[in-house]
Amino acid sequence: MAKHGPNILLTGTPGTGKTTLGQELAERTGLSYINVGDLAKEKNLYEGYDEEYNCNILDEDQVVDELEDHMENGGRIIDYHGCEFFPERWFDIVFVLRTDNTLLYTRLQERGYSGKKLEDNVQCEIFQTILEEAKDSYKPDIVHELQSNTPEEMEDNIEKIVLWIEKWKQDHLSATMPS
Ligand SMILES: Nc1ncnc2c1ncn2[C@@H]1O[C@H](COP(=O)(O)OP(=O)(O)O)[C@@H](O)[C@H]1O
Ligand SMILES: [Mg+2]
């Protein structure tokens, strides 16, 4: 079945700006934004509770089942801080957002993170964990790193992605020629 738009994955360490970027992109392009964390909460797609991190454990299979129809239709922007469990075939392009460690530390503190949770997330960014995960999970030529330190960089990222979407549509949604 033909997709009516590209499927885009926004991934990266918590606090790098996935949600801000995804919502703004959806507003400007008409693509549908899906926050996987919110979806899991709404539909209770969990398989247990992590005592160490005080958070629910995502049921990845259920999340994939839940998203399958959306992805078949196309035109979805998916936001999640992990990416290895999504089927590779889903995405036309993958963006990994990156933020300077000190800026990220402050953002996560402002979000109320502290102690081990704060340290682990900043370390995740230092070790480029999500970037490596994305490169291991998708064809390298569809994985792009985006710097997300300042509002100017955010705007620049939005503009580039909007242009990429327009190009995708030109290439994939050929207008029917009159006979
Ligand atoms: N490029 C950026 N420049 C400055 N602040 C940003 C940028 N991206 C995100 N932020 C801010 O950082 C915080 C975390 O952003 P958010 O979109 O919630 O990240 P994520 O969804 O990846 O956890 C928010 O307060 C947001 O306004
Ligand atoms: Mg978010």
- Average confidence score pLDDT of the chain: 96
Greatest CA separation for the chain? 67
| 148 CA closest ligand 1 atom index | 1
DSSP 73-84: H--EEEE-S--T
For residues 146 and 129, the answer to whether their CB atoms sit within 8 Å is no
Tokens describing residue 77: 């922007």
Read off the pLDDT of residues 125-173 as tens digits, 9 standing for 90 and up.
Answer: 999 999 999 999 999 999 999 999 999 999 999 999 999 999 999 999 9
**What does the DSSP 8-state code read for residue 142?**
G
Residues 83 and 138: their CA atoms lie apart, in Å, by 9
pLDDT at 23: 98
pLDDT at 141: 97
111 annotated as ligand-binding: yes
30 close to ligand 1 (CB < 6 Angstrom):
no
**pTM for the full predicted model:** 0.96
Read off the pLDDT of residues 52-71 as tens digits, 9 standing for 90 and up.
Answer: 888 899 999 999 999 999 99
121 close to ligand 1 (CB < 6 Angstrom):
no
Tell me how far the alpha carbon of residue 173 lies from the centroid of ligand 1, in angstroms.
Answer: 33
